[in-house]
Structure 1
Amino acid sequence: MNNTLSLEIGHYTSAGLKPENQDSCGARVPLDPQLGLKGAAFAIADGISSSPVSAIASQTAVKSFLDDYYCTSDGWNVQQAAERVLKATNAWLYGQTQQSPYRFERDKGYVCTFSAAILQGAEAHLFHLGDSRIYRLRRGTLEQLTHDHRKWVGEVHSYLSRALGASQRLDVDYRQVSLEPGDLLVFTTDGVHETLPHEFLTEQLALPTTSLNTTAKALVDAALANGSNDNLTVQLVRVTGLPEPVKTPMEQAGSLPLPPLLKAGDSLDGYIIEREIHASSRSHVYLATDKSSGIQAILKMPSIDLADDPAYLERLLMEEWIARRVNSTHVVRAATSHRPRNFLYTAMEVVEGQTLRQWMTDNPDPQLETVRRIVEQIASGLQALHRAEILHQDLRPENIIISPAGTVTVIDLGSARVDGIAETFSATISATFATTDIEDNPDSAVNSGQQILGTALYTAPEYFLGDMGSARSDLFSLAVLTYHLLSGEFPYGTQVARCTTVAAQHKLRYRSVLSETRAIPAWIDATLKKALQPNPRLRHEALSEFVYELRHPNPQYLHATRPPLMERYPVRFWQSVSGVLLLTVLYLLSLISSSA
């Protein structure tokens, strides 16, 4: 077995007897680590002969697929990433047709057949619309892996029942097949496979050759000689080596031993331990220096007490995996090291500064503008995670670092959830694993026997209903953090964690952040109230909207009725009422005395 996917590629395309070649094909084989993570991509498209613009459609389909697939989130699985790209391409092609003179003639618009394969690890992920084909030759047997989307009207006439760009709705075939060394994937357009018999294809593909380009050209030439009057394209991909199976975090957790307790001066896998930073019943965190580069790193190691907790060990390993795939100034990064590890731990870059919890202790009454700058940077880090389809799920002051220069970094990704992670690593991270308890009130973190990811005081209410959460759940946590920075309090106290039914959550009452001692505009309170709605659908749609409204008053809030004076300033209200009553009593006494 090799450490990477090894392939041999060849292709040949020809206009044949037609004046224009409306076929298109292409391949993209990136270098590691992207090859191991995203795989190698291959695509073939065939424009329909009745359309004068289908050559543009086929070229666009192939190019956009090969380019855009590698721009998708590493957190998406292959099917999700490829289908999102195809949906975008389909929408663009369909839109072009609707804006053209052919909007009422589908067979003259931006339409093409399309077949693609993503080779990742020892699997091939196939995507198909139309009547181009993908075959697999294995040990002398040629198997057609795709199904032609062609409807026949009688014995002579037919039409495509599915094609890229033909409709607003995309219905793409998806199939996953195994790969073995020696497998040959064959991509053809109908100008080839409708002319050459299956047996002839099998014989020609099985012949020994020094170049797959030569084999592809020989097939095209044979189809032309056999009477093909269409465009002709063949693309061949031979698997010459497969990578070793990627160990899942669970498998790594089972194969690597836990490191021993360490002290300053000890060595571990090329690191020198400088000092212990943190120790608890769950983990030990050390500051270490890489002996080869001299760069410092933070090593996090599980407690020996958790050696038999595979869920925790898996989450620990996932933290570093996530950090390597998010590129943001405001999200912690994984340390750079290419040495094999002999123990189970994570290595992260050092983030200089103090935790937001420490900062809040030193700055108990921060200015509104200071809070805005902190919140905006946290939001930027969360947005980078969300773009990669990752939810943080444990936003709290202890998981945020502020540097001496004021740069804010989100750390501790151990509770994060990644969409699509189950395919790259065959294990799935469950949202029911536990991490931290509620501050000052541990009993509130219990939800009908289920423990919640994150710290309950900052956790969105939907998690306590058993929901998986969304980007709006991280928004709720950020709004709680904003509220806490401004007031030192929490919008619902400790009640959220106790509300494990929708009916109970309907009874939650938001506590206004306004106070006689705080210089906070009423529209800021309205912004927080919206972001902190128990129902996620009533919150802001995006983090950017919430951050924008922290600086720019929403006209709806400005025109809304302000809370009664008694609610905004209860002490001053009752003092005023008492004063009025006192004056009334004095006035009445004066009237009584004067009449006497």
Structure 2
Amino acid sequence: MLMPTHKALRVTLGQHSLAKPGAVNQDFHGAMLPEGTLRMSKGIAVALADGIGSSRVSQVASAAAVRGFLDDYYATSDAWSVRRAAQRVLSATNSWLHAQTMRSDARFDKDSGYVCTFSALIFKGRDVHMLHVGDARIHRLHPNGLEQLTEDHRVHLSSAESYLGRALGAGPNVEIDYRCWEAEAGEVYLLATDGAYTHLDAAAVHDAIARCGDDFDAAARLLTEAAQARGSEDDCTVQLVRIDELPPADAAQLPMQREGLAVAPPLAPRTRFEGFTLVRELHVSSRSHVHLAVDDASGQQVVLKLPSVDLRDDPEYLDRFVLEEWVARRIDNVHVLKASTIDRTRGHLYVAMEYVDGQTLAQWMVDNPKPSLDSVRRIAEQLASGLQALHGKEMLHQDVRPENVMIDRTGTVRIIDLATTHVAGLADGAGEGRPLAITGTLQYTAPEYFAGHGGSARSDLFSMAVIVYQMLTGQLPYGLQVSRVRSPADVNRLRYVPVRHLRPDLPEWVDAVLQKALNPNPLKRQEAVSELAHDLRAPGQEFLRVRMPPLIERHPVRFWQATTALLAIVSAVLLGVLILGR
């Protein structure tokens, strides 16, 4: 089956399954080759499963595993990475299969339950993702051999006796092998169950492809027939995939495209634009112009954000500009700014977001220079809720700062400005891993970015902790030290300034909680922003049993004054001894 020409990822796929004579086929296979946006956001998936021979229902298990995976994977959030989406789906499938076994007579004999192997490849962007459990195999074809990419999860008791050590449905939980590598155009992959691969070699695969050309379905059928002709007494399933074309390395991964949309010129109040009437400017910078506007159709106030004309030839900036509205539409949390619903066709590039009648957290801090701990906690808890919603979709905000937090007139906190958000699902296949670039404001950026280690959810946690510290003290926990970090040695030289130096009225445990959240090593911080919010509300014993900090940390000036006085006394005593000794 030759896939139609596609401007991005294009493959040729063939598959065939042959039951052993006089028996039900316990293998199952399938593939999904979506077009357009879905191919860009989720990729192409190919999967097969092999039921265990001792079970009368294993063909049900293998069919459920493949069908469930292909259906559910494409229903997961397109913000999730391939690894997270696929493993979540397979874990759910495993739980379902195991539950079927436990509800049947097979609960007394695991070898007769709903159990199967599973192997899959997902081609997304310029990457290949592999998921595997059991003893089916995935090979890469070379001129003179088949490179086995999977590990057989089979335990050998002797040369003649073995059993399947890992499979879907065998237990309530399952460990799933995962690998990812960069694809190359022209590569051919072979997925096969043990009834096929034990009787095939590279020469047979090359011969089948040579005889059938681009008809990979016919080639797969030839290979299953060859396996049986060579003595296979088991079901034989073969899938062949050739990568015909890959998207360019710099191809945009955004499902929401900006092609054909013009960058608008600077707009003045009372101007009509794209079905809106502009009211006034809210913010103007070298990167964007932000206006309060009224939707002429609904009468609703909205915030319109337009890219700067000076950056109209910067594709990376324009892609990030489009990203903001895309992210906002995929987060449903009261503490993250929402995108306005605009159904009409656009002619220009802009972002329409809900209008928040209130003030930024930066202004709130000016108005509240010495806030109570409880008022700071209320803000921190809402901020944590919004960040947790982003992190749950495998998104990192990356620019958490007071100017990007709004507080409305009811006291509700909202995270705004999502243009710097890193989305794992969009980074897949684009040659990106962890976000490495520093996209946020330096004073609030975690030190691991400066050291070149990349960011994580704990990096947003660090930024949130900086804000909490600043709300309480009016200062930054490391001053400007963090922005000077360039190496691990620089990270080790960072010195935290205790909160109680500036606010001695606060409990000691507050310092312990924030010092943990602001640790230069991300692995030593709280695991999630929700944990930090909880610690600020209900500190655990690790924070309540805090030792008194040494004098040099609590009162450095007094420490050096006392040290100087002590040295003066010692010097005077020594001088007196010397004089008397004469």
Shorter-normalised TM-score: what interval? 0.5 to 0.7
Distance (whole Å) between structure 2 residues aligned to residue 158 and residue 519 of structure 1: 72
Distance (whole Å) between structure 2 residues aligned to residue 472 and residue 96 of structure 1: 39
Q: Check whether the contact 2:20–2:235 (CA below 8 A) recurs between aligned residues.
A: yes
Q: Higher mean Cα deviation, 561-570 or 519-528?
A: 561-570
2:177 equivalent to 1:170: yes
Q: Partner letter of residue 357 of structure 1?
A: A
In 2 relative to 1, CA 131–397 (structure 1 residues): closer, same or farther, beyond 3 Å? Answer: closer
The equivalences for 1:374-453 within 5 A come to 374-423=379-428, 431-432=436-437, 452-453=438-439
Q: Higher mean Cα deviation, 408-417 or 168-177?
A: 168-177
By how many angstroms is 1:412 displaced?
0.8
Aligned to 2:529: 543
Among 247, 271, 274, the alignment partner of 2:276 is 271
Aligned to 1:454: 440
2:462 equivalent to 1:476: yes
Distance (whole Å) between structure 2 residues aligned to residue 537 and residue 126 of structure 1: 28
In 2 relative to 1, CA 159–258 (structure 1 residues): closer, same or farther, beyond 3 Å? Answer: farther
By how many angstroms is 1:2 displaced?
10
Distance (whole Å) between structure 1 residues aligned to residue 552 and residue 127 of structure 2: 67
By how many angstroms is 1:201 displaced?
12
Distance (whole Å) between structure 2 residues aligned to residue 252 and residue 67 of structure 1: 25
Distance (whole Å) between structure 2 residues aligned to residue 24 and residue 128 of structure 1: 15
Distance (whole Å) between structure 1 residues aligned to residue 117 and residue 30 of structure 2: 14
In 2 relative to 1, CA 459–170 (structure 1 residues): closer, same or farther, beyond 3 Å? Answer: closer
By how many angstroms is 1:267 displaced?
3.0
By how many angstroms is 1:395 displaced?
0.8
By how many angstroms is 1:372 displaced?
0.9
In 2 relative to 1, CA 158–358 (structure 1 residues): closer, same or farther, beyond 3 Å? Answer: same
Q: Partner letter of residue 282 of structure 1?
A: R
2:329 equivalent to 1:343: no
By how many angstroms is 1:162 displaced?
10
Contiguous gaps of at least 5 residues in structure 2: 10-14, 140-145, 218-223, 242-249, 562-582
In 2 relative to 1, CA 568–2 (structure 1 residues): closer, same or farther, beyond 3 Å? Answer: closer
Q: Partner letter of residue 287 of structure 1?
A: L
The Cα offsets for residues 432-476 of structure 1, whole Å up to 9 and x where unpaired, read as 3xxxxxxxxxxxxxxxxxxx4222221212222222122211111
Distance (whole Å) between structure 2 residues aligned to residue 168 and residue 326 of structure 1: 30
In 2 relative to 1, CA 416–175 (structure 1 residues): closer, same or farther, beyond 3 Å? Answer: closer
In 2 relative to 1, CA 53–354 (structure 1 residues): closer, same or farther, beyond 3 Å? Answer: same
Q: Higher mean Cα deviation, 22-31 or 489-498?
A: 22-31
Among 53, 60, 68, the alignment partner of 1:49 is 53
Among 480, 488, 493, the alignment partner of 1:507 is 493
Distance (whole Å) between structure 2 residues aligned to residue 300 and residue 112 of structure 1: 52
Distance (whole Å) between structure 2 residues aligned to residue 58 and residue 206 of structure 1: 28
The equivalences for 1:214-229 within 5 A come to none
Q: Higher mean Cα deviation, 320-329 or 11-20?
A: 11-20
Q: Partner letter of residue 307 of structure 1?
A: R
Distance (whole Å) between structure 1 residues aligned to residue 98 and residue 53 of structure 2: 17
2:89 equivalent to 1:82: no
Distance (whole Å) between structure 2 residues aligned to residue 567 and residue 172 of structure 1: 47
Distance (whole Å) between structure 2 residues aligned to residue 43 and residue 248 of structure 1: 24
Aligned to 1:58: 62
2:499 equivalent to 1:497: no
The Cα offsets for residues 27-68 of structure 1, whole Å up to 9 and x where unpaired, read as 789999767633676644220213567456525533552465
Aligned to 1:553: 539
Report SS of the residue matched to 1:550.
Answer: helix
Q: Check whether the contact 2:436–2:449 (CA below 8 A) recurs between aligned residues.
A: no
Q: Check whether the contact 1:124–1:177 (CA below 8 A) recurs between aligned residues.
A: no
Tell me how many residue pairs correspond in the alignment: 525
In 2 relative to 1, CA 428–415 (structure 1 residues): closer, same or farther, beyond 3 Å? Answer: same
By how many angstroms is 1:86 displaced?
4.6
Q: Percent identity?
A: 47
Distance (whole Å) between structure 1 residues aligned to residue 151 and residue 482 of structure 2: 53
Alpha-carbon RMSD across the aligned residues, in angstroms, is 5.9
Q: Partner letter of residue 86 of structure 2?
A: A
Distance (whole Å) between structure 2 residues aligned to residue 38 and residue 250 of structure 1: 10
By how many angstroms is 1:200 displaced?
11
Q: Check whether the contact 2:81–2:394 (CA below 8 A) recurs between aligned residues.
A: no
Distance (whole Å) between structure 2 residues aligned to residue 455 and residue 375 of structure 1: 19
Q: Partner letter of residue 177 of structure 2?
A: L
Report SS of the residue matched to 1:334.
Answer: coil
Q: Check whether the contact 1:250–1:310 (CA below 8 A) recurs between aligned residues.
A: no
